[in-house]
Amino acid sequence: MPLRVSLATDGPGIIAREAELWRSEDVLERFWRKDPTVWADPPVPEIADRLGWLDAPADSRSLISEIEALHSDAIESGITDILLLGMGGSSLAPEVFAATLPLASTSPKLTVLDSTHPAAVLEAASGTDPVSTWYIVASKSGGTIETMSLFRYFWQQAEERVPDPGSHFIAITDPGSSLEALATDRAFMATFLADPNVGGRYSALTAFGLVPTGLIGGDVSLLLESAERAALLCKPPTPLEDNPGFGIGAILADHARNGRDKAQFLSMLPVETIGIWIEQLVAESTGKTGIGIVPIDRGPRLAGDPGATVVTIGNLADLGGDIEISVDDPYDVAGLMFILEFATAVVGRSLSINPFDQPDVELAKKLATSAMDGGLGIDDAPPVHVSDPSWVESVRRSLRESAPSYISLQAYVPQSETVTNRLDEIRDILSNESQAYVSVGIGPRFLHSTGQLHKGGPPGALFIQIVSGTGDTLPVPETDYSFNDLITAQARGDRAALAERDRTVVAVNIGDDIESGLATLLEQLSPDS
């Protein structure tokens, strides 16, 4: 099998100790029997009904024929674009698959829209034509406010250009959701009902990950073959010492218990984008009850920092990481995903946390709703404008006085290559100055990815929130609010949620010119300034 795992020098001892404990309690066999008491005794609902991902590599084969038929229909109908409207577990895996797999130029291309910033919405609209676009609306609950707001906007766009807008829409959701009912009412061309026993961040190998990938020409059968091979390596009769998911999870958990509560993922071809998916899996699964593992996607490697486990992933992953995962075949990204899902569940067992719930995610949603309704009921000072350099002093004061365990850079701006490059430069400066790891998140997508860890995970971080102007009002059709209102409320709600959890937050507004504003931030943070 092309996918290979090499472990740190301390790995064999850690694995041997954990394996002895697992064998004494028959844990692996109980794991595969979907025994919820592996993680909590007595069991709780968000374990008992969240273990379907173990069977996803085999169960999802039933999707292949319908996906292949839709892909053929798309090509025959002249469809050039697939626009995926989803957040977190509904969008990250397809984005990784699209960037990783070899795809024919004759297939439609995938655009993922998981932002409520008006500029991002308008860019997606201007870059696609409803006549030649299919829209995938993906939400487990069917009520995700970002996804449904985007649906309403693009439904209106389609209504203006095509006589039968429903024939351009596909739903992916859980059975009985409001989205399933909506898809029926508006005559969507297809509705895929996902396994309700699979949580969002574990859904890469279900309809949520596979339908968008198949529609752009990805070979779903090859993905599932890779995942099935990986699953075999993670189940009996494979000895625990040879089980890659168990080994990775045991090392990450042991390091976290002993103060190394960050994991830096350095990914390269053919899976260089896998980090955006890993972030959600690790952060939302482990970051709760004040403990957890902080995932760092890319960034400077702080070789002298004893607080992180370094994981290198990709072709010739021989950069000296604590865990090295070699991947040669792009389609083995699916096997990698299964192994990492398994490893994360192992971490949950080892750290005595439930890896399948997300108790702190609702706090930011609740406070954002309060902000939308006109007030938070708490002191809500607006972000400092970038023209006022006092925000930089607030950052540096925090670095001097508290030595943050990590820094979270959170930018509520539309994503672009320029924005990504600027944020990476800002991260480098902050990391060099503080000698702390720095994570980068684009809002509001990170609220569905690392947001749980920010509120419920290890304390001691510094959060730097960047907001921008939102331009002219862009109403959300069929509602009484705009995208401007929504993203502003989400930023306010997240600041309030962090404050309620006693997190240190510095907020800065970079104004209407996002590129110029980020350049100013970079200049202000420069050591020479």
Answer whether 426's CB lies under 8 Å from 524's CB. Answer: no
Same domain, 511 and 382: yes
520 and 409 fall within a common domain: yes
Q: Does residue 1 carry a pLDDT above 60?
A: no
Residue 72: partners with Cβ closer than 8 Å, 6 or more residues away:
none
The whole-number average pLDDT for the span 471-499 is 94
Strand partners, 7: 323
Tell whether 44 is covered by a domain: no
Contact partners, residue 116, CB within 8 Å, separation at least 6: 146, 149, 150, 444, 483, 486, 487, 490
Range in 41-50, 116-125, 293-302, 341-350 with the lowest mean pLDDT: 41-50
pLDDT digits (tens, 9 = 90+) for 48-84: 899 999 999 999 999 999 999 999 999 999 999 999 9
423 in a domain, yes or no?
Answer: yes
The per-residue pLDDT for 206 is 98
- Does residue 85 sit within a domain? yes
Is residue 231 included in any domain, yes or no? Answer: no
Region 172-186: mean pLDDT is 98
Q: Stretch 396-418: mean pLDDT, rounded?
A: 93
Residues 160 and 273 in one domain: no
CATH number for position 86: 3.40.50.10490
Q: What pLDDT is attached to residue 373?
A: 75
What gap in Å lies between CA 376 and CA 488, rounded to an integer?
13
The Cα–Cα gap between 202 and 356 comes to 9
Residue 431 lies in a domain: yes
Where in the sequence is the domain holding 493, given as residue range(s)? 361-525
Residue 303 pLDDT level (bands cut at 50, 70, 90): low
Say whether both 332 and 424 belong to one domain. no
Question: Domain total for the chain?
Answer: 3
Confidence of residue 304 (pLDDT cuts 50, 70, 90): low
Q: How far apart are CA 37 and CA 24, in angstroms?
A: 15
Residues 450 and 400 in one domain: yes
Asked if residue 251 and residue 201 are part of one domain, the reply reads: no
Residue 465 lies in a domain: yes
Q: What is the pLDDT of residue 102?
A: 96
In the listed set 351, 385, 404, which residue is the last one of a domain according to the structure? Answer: 351
Strand partners, 85: 113, 137
Q: What is the pLDDT of residue 380?
A: 66
Q: Does residue 36 have a pLDDT over 90?
A: yes
* 243 domain-assigned: yes
Report pLDDT for 378: 60
In the predicted model, is pLDDT for residue 369 greater than 70? yes
Q: Does residue 28 sit within a domain? A: yes
CA distance 373 to 97: 38
Are 501 and 367 members of one domain?
yes
- Per-chain mean pLDDT for the chain: 93
For residues 338 and 369, state if they share a domain: no
Measured CA to CA in angstroms, residue 93 lies from 36, 55, 229, 334 at distances of 26, 17, 19, 9
The pLDDT of residue 7 is 77
335 and 368, same domain (yes or no):
no
Question: Do both 64 and 160 map to the same domain?
Answer: yes
**In the numeric block, which tokens belong to residue 373?**
């309704």
Whole-prediction pTM: 0.95
Domain boundary among 298, 332, 351: 351
Same domain, 296 and 419: no
User: Residues 346, 365: one domain?
Assistant: no
- Region of residue 506 (left: phi > 0; alpha: psi -120 to 50; beta: else): beta
b/e map of 325-344 (b: 16 or more CB within 10 Å)? Answer: bbbeebbbbbbbbbbbbbbb
Last residue of a domain, one of 158, 189, 218: 218
Q: What is the pLDDT of residues 251-261, one digit of tens each?
A: 999 999 999 99
Indicate if the pLDDT at residue 26 is higher than 80: yes
